[in-house]
A and B are shown apart, each in its own frame.
Chain A
Amino acid sequence: MGFNLFGLSVYLVNPALMFGFAGVLALLILGTIAALVLPAMQPGKWSDLGPRMRSWWIIVILVGGALLLGWQATAIVFGLISFLALKEFLTLAPTRKEDRLIVFLAYISIALNYGLIFADTLFEDSYQIYLVFTPVYLFLAAAATMAWIGRTDGYLSTVGVIHWGTVVCVYNIGYIAFLMRTPDAEAPAGAAGLVFFLLFIVQLNDVAQYCWGKAFGRTKITPKVSPNKTWEGAIGGWLTTALVFYFLAPYFTPLTPLHAAIMGVVVPMFGFFGDITMSAVKRDLGVKDTSRLIPGHGGVLDRLDSLTFAAPIYFHLLAYFALERF
């Protein structure tokens, strides 16, 4: 399993991808300068910004480096991210001492789910196998295992927790790594360009919603779940992201203008719903952050919330509109 060094050289000469990385780097440097200057100007107010920016550097180097190294490295990095996210979810979700074995099996599912990404070329048409494996067969396996070992007390709630966790943290996040198996010839900036664009758009949506909300936010959108979210922020962020998507799509995706417009509207909307869904889960579990693993951000799931919804729809719409491979 040699890493795709040829792919690396292809990406390094791809102007769109390099421009994208340069843009992200510029944002990081700007943020780092802000983190150095703002706390000195207004002491106490920006204490969070320093650790937040340091964490961003690590995230960008880790994920960006994996993208440049190719699909194997991307699958390994997102496999680890899935593990950390699932562990956060299963730590907060209700489980019992007797459920330890089934929780252990849920972790094994990460190896199976990402193993299918590695085994992509092994079976004919294994695209379909990835699609159904975790949501259907892992679900059945978990349910049957619980019945086999005779766990009938709280049966549905445990099977439900395991299914929820594996689909959201493993299967949906796995789409990011799976997209890297697109042949590079199918997209203007290769498979890495497709994945980069997804991650960029979803993070941009979060930031744009925040900025519009700060500037014009009045009307609360989901007061019970996310009291900081407003209609003004959500719509402003949505429009901003949709426009950026539409204008940048030709450099990163093989979409026609009409299809780019459709995806520009749909993908950020899914991101928004991922965000409020994870907030609802956190409310139910009684926490604000899912862990303290990423200084300044909270847990892995706090950072991934929008992606758990946006990654599958981005993949499927691309597959439907443009990608020959899937």
Chain B
Amino acid sequence: MLQVIRRYGLMLIVRPIARLLFTLDAIGGEKLPKDGPAIIAANHNSHIDTVVLLCLFPSKLLPKLRPVAAADHFDKGGFGSWFSKTVIGIIPIKRGGASRGEDVLLAAKEALTRGEILVVFPEGSRGEPEAMTRFKTGVARLAEFCPAATVTPVYLQGAGRSLPKDAKLLVPFNTTAVIGDPLTWNGSHHAFIEALRERIEALKAQAPPLRWE
């Protein structure tokens, strides 16, 4: 029942509104995985990034799509937690403050084992709008854990203008998502995130020029 409501909510409410406000241009959409287990890795500038990525997929895949999100932000308890986990379908992940020996990636690994599609932002934070920061190694550890899962790089542009970090006012701008060829686990955490980062940087060239200072 919940899955039916989520699916039609995405199809009939979220996607039309998002298309009106952000247009949701996509380049290379055919390179997205058709099924799990898989990982989508994108640069991160705005809460809207998650909406843009979820809308890229056909709505029948929605039950499998699991955005990995910061627990300190989206799992603070109460209605917000319930909404993030049940309606949006996030997997909360601890950023710092985890005890030694605790595997913060456990829930994400379980999702991969179930054949789900993880949506991750390797930067770990939205940061300055429309600027990319260092990548964390979590995505490489997930790829190592589940070598069957491909990691599809996505470059996102525009959402950081519509709703940057700390902004209260949402201003409509078009977003562009450029989807690249998927990567597979290459044996080294550092080399993997470097390759991923290079790929996302390279995808930027296909997006329309960004005039934003």
Residues of chain A having any CB pair with chain B under 8 Å: 80, 83-84, 87-88, 90-97, 100-101, 103-104, 107, 285-287, 291-293
B129 at the interface (CB under 8 A from A): yes
How far is the CB of B18 from the nearest CB of chain A, in Å? 13
Residues B164 and A87 in contact, CB atoms below 8 Å apart: no
List B residues 141-192 near A (Cβ within 8 Å): 158, 161, 164, 167, 169, 171-174
Min CB distance, A283 to chain B, in Å? Answer: 12
| Total residue contacts A-B, CB cutoff 8 A | 61
- The complex places the Cα of A87 from the Cα of B162 at a distance, in Å, of 11
Chain B residues whose C-beta falls within 8 Å of the C-beta of A103 in the assembled complex:
171, 173
Q: Which of A88, A286, A291 contacts B209 (CB 8 A)?
A: A286
Majority-rule SS of A interface residues: helix
Instruction: Flag if A96 contacts B23 (CB, 8 Å).
Output: no
Q: Find the residue from A88, A97, A293 having the highest chain B CB count within 10 A.
A: A97
B212 touching A97 by the CB < 8 A rule? yes
Given contacts A83-B20, A95-B211, A292-B25, 12 further A-B contacts (CB under 8 A): A87-B173, A87-B174, A88-B23, A90-B173, A91-B158, A91-B173, A96-B212, A97-B161, A97-B212, A100-B161, A287-B209, A291-B25
Residues of B within 8 A of A (CB): 20, 23, 25-27, 129, 158, 161, 164, 167, 169, 171-174, 208-209, 211-213
**Minimum CB distance partner of B158 in chain A:** A91
Q: Which of B20, B25, B169, B213 contacts A104 (CB 8 A)?
A: B169
The answer to whether A91 and B174 touch (CB under 8 A), given A97-B164, A100-B169, A291-B23, is yes
With a cutoff of 8 Å between Cβ atoms, the chain A residues found around residue B25 in the complex are 291-293
Q: 27 A-B contacts, Cβ less than 8 Å apart?
A: A83-B20, A84-B23, A87-B23, A87-B174, A91-B158, A91-B161, A91-B173, A93-B211, A94-B211, A94-B212, A94-B213, A96-B212, A96-B213, A97-B164, A100-B169, A101-B169, A103-B173, A104-B171, A107-B171, A285-B208, A285-B209, A285-B211, A286-B209, A292-B23, A292-B26, A292-B27, A293-B25
Q: Could you say which residues of chain B place their CB within 8 Å of the CB of A93?
A: 211
Smallest Cβ-Cβ distance to B130: which chain A residue: A97
Min C-beta distance of A259 to chain B, whole Å: 40
What is the CB-to-nearest-CB distance from B163 to chain A, in angstroms, rounded to a whole number?
Answer: 9
Q: Are B211 and A92 in contact (CB under 8 A)?
A: yes
Bound-complex Cα distance A103 to B162 (A): 10
Tell me the minimal C-beta distance from B190 to chain A in angstroms. Answer: 33
Complex Cα distance A84/B209, Å? 19
Measured CB to CB, the nearest residue on chain A to B170 is A104
Q: Which residues of chain B have C-beta atoms less than 8 A from A286's C-beta? A: 208-209
**A105 vs B26: C-alpha distance in the bound complex, in angstroms?**
27
- Min distance, Cβ B19 to any Cβ of chain A, angstroms: 8
Q: For residue B211, which residues in chain A have a CB less than 8 angstroms away from its CB?
A: 92-95, 285
> Which chain A residues lie closer than 8 Å to B173 at the CB level?
87, 90-91, 103
Alpha-carbon separation in the docked complex, A104 to B20 (Å): 15
Which of A83, A92, A287 has its CB near the most chain B CB atoms (within 10 A)? A92
In the assembly, what is the distance between CA of A92 and CA of B157, in Å? 12
Most buried by A among B27, B129, B172, B212: B172
**Contact across chains for B169 and A87 when beta carbons are under 8 A apart:** no
Distance in angstroms from B162 CB to nearest chain A CB is 9
A90 to B26, CA, bound (A): 19
* Contact with A107, one of B161, B172, B174, B209 (Cβ below 8 angstroms): B172
Do B23 and A293 have beta carbons less than 8 Å apart? yes
Q: Measured between alpha carbons, how far is A229 from B96 in the docked complex, in Å? A: 60
Instruction: Tell whether, in the assembled complex, residue A100 and residue B167 are in contact, meaning their CB atoms are under 8 Å apart.
Output: yes
- C-alpha spacing A150/B200, complex, angstroms: 37
Alpha-carbon gap, A42 to B213, bound state (A)? 47
Report Cα–Cα, A84/B161, bound state, in Å.
Answer: 16
